[in-house]
């Protein structure tokens, strides 16, 4: 059959073009792989975490989880399903070993064994559903308040550390740490940036300072943690405390905030300053009225990003401010007001580390782990997202 005749300018397919399309799609595939990998992470944590954080009935948010202290979980497993499941598990193991011992010719026997195993699995699932429906879970407080403990001839009593209660102190601790450290870092960093960009004389020294600040912003956070531990916790004798954590985190955020704020101030055209100076304004007035207002959005975005960074870091607070477990809130049990600053707190990132590496993994710790990770991701993501959206908005608004 003859091919239909193409117009002279029609797009013809050629090998070159096919390759072009393939390569372009390869790049597209790579990009979407990255996007999907990250999206799966978000999805997994959101899906599993929302089980702990949300609930089916009003007020739909699990207030207990967000406000209570972490506690030991007491679980009463009904004995009957438990025994039934164990019995079937041993049966399955026996069948499996029998199946293994078979020669390669006994296909009939093999399929029979496999069927039996599948049946047992299904039964286990049924019993498991019953076990889940009948089991009783108490946090430590509730367990102590019980009038009479469940009958131990019908229930199997087990305890799981860290799995009950909620993450209230950790949320409060993280908020405290972030607020204090960002206040210190912002005030120091902003003033420093104003000096460096507006007042200092350009020269070798300024260049060197700028370079070292830039380099310091790439230093691993654990090194800042090490420094904070040696300096604030030991050398100053503050111990593991909020204030040691504040300064450690602030010093970590300082280079980033200085560099970003200075950059957004230097991006303001010289004409803005010169115009103001020409009208007779003093240096400070021209900075105040003609530089800072225009640099503010840029500074704001970078400092919100700084908040996300500071909130997300674990390594610097691991041994300067965070306790694995503390059953008092920061304002409870203070002898004098200054004690507030010299006490360790729980923090969300450290709590995630503790519950995901220091305790045995089982179905009861899952809720705690995922719930904490979800809340944490939500807080950090909120700051990061607002920074990103603000930046997009600012970029489209200010252009010179």
Partner 1 sequence: MTQDSKASEPNAARFDRRKNILFGRDKDSIIKGFFGSTATVAIVVLALITLFLFKEGFGFLGSYHKSLQEYRLSGLEYVDILKEPRDDFSALNRYLNDIRAEWIRDLNARGLSREAVSRTVTSPKAKALFLSYIRAGSQLRGFIKKKMDAAIEVRDRYQTNENLRETLQGYAEKIEAVSEPGYRLSPEDRAQFALRLKESIRDNTLQADKLPANQEILAALEKGSPLTAAAQEIYLQLLRKQYLKTEATLRPVDFSQSINTITDEQERYAEILFNLEMDIRKVLKRADAIDFENKSLDKRIQRFRELNDQYLASIPKHKAKLASWDQNVEVPLWRALAAFLAGKDWVTASDQQDWYGLLPLLSGSLLISLIALFFAVPFGVGAAIYVNQIAGPLERNLIKPYVEFVSAIPSVVIGFFGVVVFGEAIRLLSQFEFMAWVPFFPLQERLNAFTAGALLALMAIPTIFTLAEDAINNIPRHFKEASFAVGATRLQTTLRVIVPSALSGIISAVMLGFGRVIGETMVVLLCAGNRIKIPDFSEGLGVFYQPVHTMTGIIAQEMGEVVRGSVHYRALFMVGIVLFFVSLLINYGAQWVVKKYRKVGD
Asked if 231 touches partner 1 (CB under 8 A), the answer is yes
Stretch 117-176 residues interacting with partner 1 (CB under 8 A): none
Stretch 71-110 residues interacting with partner 1 (CB under 8 A): none
Nearer to partner 1 by Cβ, of 41 and 334: the residue is: 41
Part in contact with partner 1 (CB under 8 A); list of ranges 66-74, 93-101, 113-121, 306-314: 306-314
Asked if 236 touches partner 1 (CB under 8 A), the answer is no
CB of 298 to partner 1, least distance (A): 15
Asked if 255 touches partner 1 (CB under 8 A), the answer is yes
CB of 282 to partner 1, least distance (A): 5
Nearer to partner 1 by Cβ, of 19 and 152: the residue is: 19
Stretch 346-365 residues interacting with partner 1 (CB under 8 A): 349, 352-353, 356-357, 361
Stretch 12-71 residues interacting with partner 1 (CB under 8 A): 16-17, 19-20, 23-24, 26-28, 30-31, 33-35, 37-38, 41, 44-45
Stretch 316-335 residues interacting with partner 1 (CB under 8 A): 318-319
Stretch 197-226 residues interacting with partner 1 (CB under 8 A): 198-201, 209, 211-216, 218-226
The helix-helix angle for 292-312 and 363-397 (nearest 10°) equals 170
The helix-helix angle for 107-134 and 79-101 (nearest 10°) equals 160
Residue from 236, 284, 331, 398 touching partner 1 (CB under 8 A): that is: 284
Q: For residue 3, give both structure tokens.
A: 């091919």
Part in contact with partner 1 (CB under 8 A); list of ranges 54-62, 105-113, 160-168, 275-283: 275-283
Phi, psi (degrees; rounded to nearest 5) at 58: -55, 145
Residue from 313, 326, 344, 368 touching partner 1 (CB under 8 A): that is: 313
Asked if 258 touches partner 1 (CB under 8 A), the answer is yes
Asked if 254 touches partner 1 (CB under 8 A), the answer is yes
Asked if 278 touches partner 1 (CB under 8 A), the answer is no
């Amino acid at each position: 059959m003859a091919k239909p005749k193409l117009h002279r300018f029609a797009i013809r397919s050629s090998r070159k073009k096919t390759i072009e399309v393939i390569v372009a799609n390869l790049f597209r595939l790579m990009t979407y792989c990255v996007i999907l990998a990250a999206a799966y992470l978000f999805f997994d944590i959101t899906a599993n975490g929302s089980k702990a954080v949300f609930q089916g009935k009003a007020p739909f948010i699990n207030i207990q989880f967000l406000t209570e202290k972490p506690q030991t979980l007491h679980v009463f497993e009904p004995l009957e399903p438990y025994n039934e499941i164990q019995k079937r598990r041993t049966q399955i193991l026996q069948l499996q070993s029998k199946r293994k011992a078979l020669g390669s010719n006994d296909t009939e026997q093999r399929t029979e064994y496999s069927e039996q195993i599948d049946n047992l699995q299904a039964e286990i699932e049924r019993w498991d559903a019953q076990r889940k429906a009948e089991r009783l879970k108490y946090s430590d407080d509730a367990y102590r308040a019980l009038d009479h403990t469940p009958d131990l001839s019908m229930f199997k009593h087990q305890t799981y550390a860290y799995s009950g209660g909620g993450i209230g102190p950790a949320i409060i601790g993280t908020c405290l740490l972030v607020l204090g450290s960002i206040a210190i870092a912002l005030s120091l960093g902003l003033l420093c940036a104003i000096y460096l960009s507006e007042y200092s004389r350009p020269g070798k020294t300024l260049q060197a300072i700028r370079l070292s600040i830039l380099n310091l912003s790439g230093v691993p956070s654990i090194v800042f943690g090490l420094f904070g531990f040696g300096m604030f916790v030991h050398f100053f004798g503050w111990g593991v405390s909020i204030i040691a954590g504040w300064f450690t985190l602030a010093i970590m955020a300082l280079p980033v905030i200085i560099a970003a704020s200075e950059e957004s101030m230097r991006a303001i055209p010289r004409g803005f300053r010169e115009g103001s100076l020409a009208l007779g304004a003093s240096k400070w007035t021209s900075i105040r009225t003609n530089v800072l207002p225009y640099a503010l959005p840029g500074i704001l975005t970078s400092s919100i990003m700084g908040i996300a960074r500071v909130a997300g870091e674990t390594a610097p607070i691991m041994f300067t401010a965070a306790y694995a477990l503390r059953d008092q809130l920061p304002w409870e049990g203070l002898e004098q007001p200054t004690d507030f600053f010299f006490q360790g707190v729980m923090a969300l990132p450290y709590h995630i580390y503790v519950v995901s590496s220091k305790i045995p993994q089982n179905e009861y710790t899952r809720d705690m782990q995922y719930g904490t990770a979800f809340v944490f991701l939500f807080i950090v993501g909120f700051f990061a997202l607002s920074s990103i959206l603000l930046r997009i908005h600012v970029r489209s608004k200010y252009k010179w």
